[in-house]
Structure 1
Amino acid sequence: MSFVAKIGAGFRRTGAFFSDSVKELKKVRWPNRKEMTSYTIVVIGTVVFLTLFFYFTDWVFSNLLQFILK
């Protein structure tokens, strides 16, 4: 197979990839507005909870270490 033929085959595979991608995206069940709002609230709540958890855990261990080292 010549170099030019390999390049042409590569372009055909790339086109097939994008064509298959579009077909698969049409099969996806996208969330509606209510579901997306719910998911967003859960993610933001989880991030806030974990932020506070790690902040207070760090604070406790910092104070404990300072107490031990004094």
Structure 2
Amino acid sequence: MEHSEIQMPRRVFVSGSVHIPDPDPSGRMPTEEAARLIAVGRPYLANAALSGPEVQEKGALLIYRFEPPAAKTKG
């Protein structure tokens, strides 16, 4: 009997066209916590919403996108 190794999908965070590596490559940190940790060094992401995951590479890659908050207008 063959033993197959289970691979955890790799997470990538995206802001615009910038790919931000996962602060916890093991994937054990919850996604929301990883996003908060990323935002510490990038204040413009503090109020961004996180969308995803978008599954790519046959499930080997999970893409999470930082979505900017809606523009506020007076009305």
TM-score calculated relative to the size of structure 2: 0.21
Higher relative contact order (Cα pairs below 8 Å, separated by 6+ residues): 2
More strand by share: 2
Q: Which has the larger radius of gyration?
A: 1
